[in-house]
């Protein structure tokens, strides 16, 4: 990955920042994007203090024009784009019957349309360089989760997009990776949207028992080097995908019971 130009959406915190550090330490040139300037500046300072060559581009991944600007400024700064990591994401937690539909639209705009826009404007460079398009999906893209209808829908859509894209680009030399962490310690549950669109604030799960963002980044880096098509990162995730394929009725009950154990769960 030395001297590869890597664009990471949502790169100012969590898995995105950990990916910037992991690829950067291996010699890649890093571009991080995000909406909040203060968080971006802080992340950029941290990357540069580690000797990583990086720039930050402020923008909203859910806006098409911001993605066009991001791709243009990346090429102006580094002359090319080799790898795009579609990492920007947001979650939600509320029963479908209670949720404001604007919450689901917002989740889809960021998690799905954000990846569509970023890929559209970076892809010509990636094809030219036989690079990689990576999507940070979730086990929720294989198995729908109660209380997270919008989030699961966005990840199912993302995985369909990546699979279609991978097949379209079969003879171009472009690598497409769908990366599916299990529950990973990050701020996504704290910023998760509730039924009325306000942030949840506190995670309903025990973050300290989850895979770290840094471990997740290492696994994605290795999968990129090996040009894998899929990576499912936890034993729980692999078991969930297998059981859901062969025993969907059983999984309905198992998943319901697991999610019902969350703090303040709407399911009992």
Among residues 151, 221, 230, 256, the one annotated as catalytic is 151
CATH assignment at residue 211: 3.40.50.720
What is the predicted pLDDT for the residue at 268? 78
The count of structural domains within the chain is 1
> Sign of the CA dihedral 193, 68, 80, 229?
positive
pLDDT tens string 235-254? 999 999 999 999 999 999 99
In a domain, 261, yes or no: no
Q: What band does 77 get if pLDDT is binned at 50, 70 and 90? A: very high
Q: Which helix H or strand E contains 259, and what residues bound it?
A: helix 248-260
Q: What band does 262 get if pLDDT is binned at 50, 70 and 90? A: confident
In a domain, 242, yes or no: no
Q: Over 80: is that where the pLDDT of 186 sits?
A: no
In a domain, 95, yes or no: yes
What is the predicted pLDDT for the residue at 169? 98
Percent of the chain predicted with pLDDT > 90: 85
Structure tokens at 173: 């030399």
In a domain, 254, yes or no: no
What are the residues whose beta carbons fall under 8 Å from the beta carbon of 4, sequence distance 6 or more? Answer: 23, 27, 28, 29, 82, 83, 131
SS (H, E, C) 236-256: HHHHHHHHHHHCHHHHHHHHH
In a domain, 100, yes or no: yes
- Of 9-23, 56-70, 93-107, 200-214, give the lowest mean pLDDT range: 200-214
Our answer to whether residue 151 is catalytic in this structure is yes
pTM for the predicted model, two decimal places = 0.93
What is the predicted pLDDT for the residue at 267? 86
Structure tokens at 131: 């690079």
In a domain, 196, yes or no: yes
Q: Quote the CA–CA distance of 75 and 226 in Å, as a whole number.
A: 25
Q: What band does 266 get if pLDDT is binned at 50, 70 and 90? A: confident
pLDDT tens string 140-158? 999 999 999 999 999 999 9
What is the predicted pLDDT for the residue at 190? 67
What is the predicted pLDDT for the residue at 183? 72
Q: Quote the CA–CA distance of 134 and 175 in Å, as a whole number.
A: 8
Using CA atoms of 206, 211, 214, 216 in order, give the dihedral in degrees to the nearest 10. -130
User: What domain range is 96 assigned to?
Assistant: 5-236
Q: What band does 265 get if pLDDT is binned at 50, 70 and 90? A: confident
What is the predicted pLDDT for the residue at 113? 98
């Amino acid at each position: 990955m030395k001297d590869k130009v890597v664009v990471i959406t949502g790169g100012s915190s969590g898995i995105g920042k950990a990916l910037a550090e992991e690829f950067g330490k291996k010699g890649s040139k890093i571009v991080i994007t995000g909406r909040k300037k203060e968080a971006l500046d802080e992340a950029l300072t941290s990357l540069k203090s580690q000797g990583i060559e990086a720039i930050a581009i402020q923008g909203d991944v859910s806006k098409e024009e911001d993605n066009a600007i991001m791709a243009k400024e990346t090429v102006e700064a580094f002359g090319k784009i080799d790898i795009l990591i579609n990492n920007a994401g947001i979650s939600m937690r509320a029963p479908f019957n209670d949720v404001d539909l604007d919450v689901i639209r917002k989740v889809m705009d960021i998690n799905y349309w954000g990846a569509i826009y970023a890929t559209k404007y970076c892809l010509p460079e990636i094809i030219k360089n036989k690079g990689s398009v990576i999507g940070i999906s979730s086990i929720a893209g294989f198995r729908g989760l109660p209380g997270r209808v919008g989030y699961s829908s966005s990840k199912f859509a993302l995985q369909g997009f990546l699979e279609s894209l991978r097949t379209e680009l079969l003879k171009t030399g472009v690598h497409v990776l769908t990366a599916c962490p299990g529950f990973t310690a990050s701020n996504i549950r704290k910023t998760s949207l509730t039924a009325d669109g306000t942030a949840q604030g506190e995670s309903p799960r025990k973050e300290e028992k989850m895979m770290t963002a840094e471990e997740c980044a290492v696994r994605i880096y290795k999968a990129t080097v090996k040009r894998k098509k899929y990576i499912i990162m936890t034993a729980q995730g692999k078991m969930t995908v297998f059981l859901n394929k062969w025993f969907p009725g059983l999984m309905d009950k198992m998943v319901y019971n697991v999610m019902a154990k969350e703090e303040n769960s709407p399911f009992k």
